[in-house]
């Protein structure tokens, strides 16, 4: 055989049909791959958005923790003072009472001085 010509005996319609089916399957796989890529891109975008939200929330939590840590020394001082009062036997009512007595004495002292000032004139 000298030429490369296809003889009618070598042409098989089933081969042509199988090639067409194979081409259709490759196209379907390509379309499925594109759809999968789009879905993956959307999934990654959603994941990045959630990560950004988590980073923002962690930043806020860190800021709140820093603010609380700044307040702890002040709270510690007040707690130590209240514990000292308890050790001395003075409760909250006792402290209020001592303050009231101090104000009462001061108030009565002011009234006494006003009365003396008015009477001695």
Cα–chain-centroid distance for residue 66? 14
- Residue 24 structure tokens: 């259709």
Distance CA 33, CA 28 (A): 8
CB 91 within 8 A of CB 85: yes
Opening angle at CA 109, ends 98 and 119, nearest 5? 165
The values of phi and psi at residue 4, to 5°, are -100, 20
Mean pLDDT computed over 55-62? 92
- Residue 96 structure tokens: 């209020």
Q: Per-residue pLDDT tens for 63-80?
A: 888 888 888 888 888 888
Indicate the domain borders of the chain.
Answer: 13-89, 91-121
Position with higher pLDDT, 35 vs 76? 35
């Amino acid at each position: 055989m000298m030429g490369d010509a296809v003889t009618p005996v070598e042409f098989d319609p089933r081969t042509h049909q199988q090639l067409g089916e194979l081409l259709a399957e490759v196209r379907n796989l390509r379309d499925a791959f594109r759809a999968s890529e789009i879905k993956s891109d959307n999934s990654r975008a959603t994941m990045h958005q959630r990560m950004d939200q988590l980073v923002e929330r962690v930043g806020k939590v860190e800021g709140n923790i820093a603010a609380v840590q700044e307040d702890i020394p002040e709270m510690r001082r007040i707690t130590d003072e209240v514990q000292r009062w308890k050790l001395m036997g003075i409760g909250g009512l006792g402290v209020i009472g001592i303050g009231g007595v101090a104000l009462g004495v001061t108030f009565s002292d002011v009234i006494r001085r006003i009365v003396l000032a008015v009477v001695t004139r």
